[in-house]
Chains A and B, each alone.
Chain A
């Protein structure tokens, strides 16, 4: 564990030992978020788009279904759920 200081420009220097340990390099992107008073830095590699592209796996029979059909089915399922929950 190492301590870093926030500069007047709101910048911090990440300790080299941590970057090396996690295999992070100059140009890598980090997602900055908070979680219960902690700042979390999540490595996103060189490209966020490449990281999320194709990241969700869907059932084979649903692959390639037209968006219109997917949306229509979603609306039907949503109504069924509302009825089931008596809302």
Chain B
């Protein structure tokens, strides 16, 4: 009898799954999150992630948990770099580029995302934020 490959389960991952995996503070949720991400890592499942989830996670880790970007961004990038993690709205490599940029200067993830696309699509950035504008002008 020939073995047929099982169809991969597909999950849409919420912010709290990333959070509980990274901080491991609620044992039951940590175990569930670890199990899911292991399934994804081992190629038994596909995990879909939204930009909104990544943005929310960024805010919660930085503002509520007072985590330094230099600590949490590399860990987040490693998870996103898993082959079976897919991003809903953009190419994953672009999101990783934006996340790496957040390590350079303390602009928000949203600001870096706007700067990235303004540069990528050669758009003029319309914003009242002077710091963001100065960064945009310096880079163009």
Chain A interface residues toward B at CB < 8 A: 31, 33, 44, 47-49, 51-59, 62-65, 67, 70-71, 73-74, 77-78, 81, 87
Which of B22, B30, B60 contacts A74, CB < 8 Å?
B60
20 contacts between A and B (CB under 8 A): A31-B77, A31-B78, A47-B41, A48-B82, A49-B40, A51-B78, A52-B22, A52-B79, A53-B21, A54-B21, A54-B23, A55-B22, A56-B22, A56-B75, A58-B25, A59-B65, A70-B60, A73-B63, A78-B63, A87-B129
The reply to whether A49 and B38 form a contact with Cβ atoms under 8 Å apart is: yes
Residues of A within 8 A of B34 (CB): 49, 53
By a CB distance below 8 angstroms, the chain B residues around A62 are 25, 64-65
Q: Is the interface of B mostly helix, strand, loop or mixed?
A: helix
Per-residue 0/1 for B60-95: is the Cβ within 8 Å of any A Cβ (1 yes, 0 no)? Answer: 110111110001100101110110000000000000
State whether A49 touches B37 (Cβ < 8 A): yes
- For the complex, give the distance between the alpha carbons of A80 and B5 in Å: 52
B13 at the binding interface (Cβ < 8 Å): no
